[in-house]
A and B are shown apart, each in its own frame.
Chain A
Amino acid sequence: MSVETTEVEGIEPAVVHPPRHAWSEEEVRAAVQAAIARRAGAASDPLQMREELIPILSDINQTLGYLPPEAFVEVGKQLRMPVSQLFSVASFYQMLSTKPRGRHVVQFCESAPCHVVGGRQVWAALQEALKLGPGETSPDGKWTLQTTSCIGICAVGPVLIVDADIYGNVTPAQVTEILAKYR
């Protein structure tokens, strides 16, 4: 078959959903070391590795779903940085979470273009369907509801993101239907 195609693969997930359980110290350490190897593998001394701090934290955040306290301790050890400083960086960025998150992270674009084309109703329906407020995680550990800043696809707004799947042109009536796809 002479089909010449450009590879089409999934976009890099913004959020990966790990099985929800408490990570053991070994698992956290392994995740930290793997992240450092991936992101700062070439650098040998801790000072050089520090330039890669945010990519390293993002990497761990992706593997573990959030940044547990033990991760800060381990990163601090490897990069020779105080935990307070690491926490200060992590707490600054919206995508780095210091709290455990649900298996599925639902993000809703709260920006003006989505707001004026019916986003408000979708947001209300979403909170109602999940029985969660912004930033909350359901007690069963299944869902976390978050708002996201504009992802730039306003012409297909309102926009809803579940894990790495992006849904455009969402209506309030579709909310439960979309959520039902996730177990």
Chain B
Amino acid sequence: MKYFRSHVLVCVDPECLSKGAHDVMDALNDELVAQGLIDEVQVLETSRIGDCAIGPELMVYPEGVHYAGLSVDDIPFLVEEHFLKGRIAKKFVAPPKVVTDEELGAPMAKEVRVVLRNCGKIDPENIDDYIAEDGYAALEKVLGSMTPEQVIEEILASGLRGRGGAGFPTGRKWQFARASKATPKYMICNADEGDPGAFMNRRVLEGDPHSVLEGMIIGGYAVGASRGYIYCRAEYPVAVRTLRIAIDQARAYGLLGENILGSGFSFDIEVRVGAGAFVCGEETALMASIEGRRGEPRPRPPFPAVSGLWGKPTNINNVETYANVPQIILKGAHWFAGMGTEKSKGTKTFALAGDVNHTGLIEVPLGINLREVIYDVAQGIKNGKKLKAVQIGGPMGGCLPEEYLDRPIDYESLAAAGTIMGSGGFVVMDEDTCMVDIARFFMEFTQDESCGKCTPCRVGTRRMLEILQRICDGDGRDGDIETLEYLCKWIKTTSLCGLGQGAPNPVESTLKHFRHEYEAHIYEKRCPAKVCKGLIRYEIVDACTGCTVCARNCPVNAITGQRRQLHVIDPNICIRCGICQQVCNFNAVVIR
């Protein structure tokens, strides 16, 4: 192998190319020949050195010097300085990219941060950090100058609705709980964020736990409760720990406990950890779980505001709902109501996941449309692929195709489109996703999590899953689509709680918008996205160099072939795990 003392990597991304990267490369090679260095320095193409804004850019190794903003005329000087004289040509060294907090911290385009304002900014385990950010100032205002009625009035006027998904007006809920005469009353924070792909509550609990505590204390004052529970799922050990630390610190300061800030109002909070049951996110099931029973839902009425935990009046809100409260009290209902649409006020956090360039949590004003979220906030689909569908609202939400991208995100519009706000799951799927497989996947989830108390959910979801499974396996029959539709309708209308009522949504919406994919599976025995194992075959094509990597990695030894010769996959042994395709360096494994 030839040895070079230096390697020059020139960025040939489209933006650098448009600024003349190839001309610079040619000039480099010419100049290296002219100065007799071509045997010592190798010029190669690369991509993504920097952000191409000051292209053409190149890196010189082994020194790791990053040059940028070069033109053809600069090359003779650069070659002479760097490669002949061995000095770094300072004037072309790319400036270090320092990103300030303001640029990074990071509201993406169109983001507005209310609930997430402190996340990643403060130390969640230090109450003073929160206090320095106006923390507990809302509590101070409430205890110092507001009656419980005024607090409820403010929350009502803000238009805040339940962020757990159902969207019930928070102020109304508080009114009901306040109106109940029985005592003691309880406040519950639903932190059983079980929707796969949704982790906004985790982030708030881990990053800004005191905002939730403060919201609960204010709510407790408003409804007249003396005790609060945060029901947090066991899958969030870090959140549980952070919450416990926050509660201890708030107690030490006297912000929880007897006679808070000398106001005569007493309130304390305890964390309860779940034990792994999705249905416990349903409020009546959640209360059963706190009481130490099986977390099964019960019919309502009576509503928790009348008869909740241990039969006492109880107010349940979600983490995000509580986290909004201190801000509303401090900045006023008017400020909050200034964001969003007529019926959906404020902001909502979403967990962006799937095939988009920017995944993670975002907080946007309600009323923003799906297109803005996908293409502006999430910066579009990964790898330049095409969007196929957006799944909103968690496992009980629906899949929406491209035609819906201009719909605003608010409680009513989403419901009309066949999905739900849910707690804020937002999974973007590209063209390589099989919608039948996705529907089967969600059904597997709800079927597994069905608590079994009511028949439509327990048996119905099972039947639906069996049908979806056989369609994916390539054994779909004529009539399966109709049976699915029939089951969707009845499970939706007859199930006891939100889990069963929402379970058919992924199937119903994919049947509506991607019916042709179901038909291709059933009638043509073909998976258009090439995902369903029963309907695909892996093959090795001529690009194979016979490197043996696939054969060595195949878990079932289905690949044979001599070194440097075309390899072959035995379809009868192959389990279609796709590992061969993933390890192949030559794109020689294809799906048929």
Contact = CB atoms under 8 A, between A and B. Distances in A.
A121 B579 contact: yes
A95 B275 contact: yes
B197 A111 contact: yes
Interface string B156-196: 00000000000000000000000000000000000001111
A50 B294 CA distance: 13
B402 interface: no
A84 interface: no
Interface string B260-280: 000000000000111111100
Given A11-B237, A54-B289, A150-B198, A6 B276 contact: no
A53 B292 CA distance: 5
B433 interface: yes
B582 interface: yes
Interface in A135-181: 148-155, 157, 164, 171-173
A128 B577 contact: yes
Contacts of B449: 149
Interface in B360-413: 360, 391, 395
A54 B125 contact: no
A88 interface: yes
Interface stretch (B297-305, B337-345, B347-355): B347-355
Nearest to B426: A113
B259 interface: no
A143 to B, nearest CB: 17
A93 B277 CA distance: 6
Nearest to A157: B353
Main secondary structure of the interface of B (DSSP, over half): loop
A153 B276 CA distance: 17
B529 to A, nearest CB: 11
B451 interface: yes
A20 interface: no
B525 to A, nearest CB: 21
Contacts of B199: 150, 152-154
Contact of B275 (A12, A94, A128, A129): A94
B294 A88 contact: yes
A172 B579 contact: yes
Contacts of B238: 11
A88 B355 CA distance: 41
Interface stretch (B5-13, B437-445, B471-479): B437-445
Contacts of B125: 6
B237 A14 contact: yes
A93 B285 CA distance: 12
A154 B353 contact: yes
Nearest to A11: B237
A8 to B, nearest CB: 10
Contacts of A171: 582
18 contacts: A11-B237, A12-B241, A58-B275, A94-B275, A94-B277, A111-B197, A121-B579, A124-B555, A124-B579, A129-B555, A149-B194, A149-B449, A150-B195, A150-B199, A151-B235, A152-B198, A155-B359, A173-B582
The 9 closest A-B pairs by CB, nearest first: A111-B196, A152-B199, A94-B276, A53-B292, A93-B275, A95-B276, A113-B353, A150-B196, A124-B577
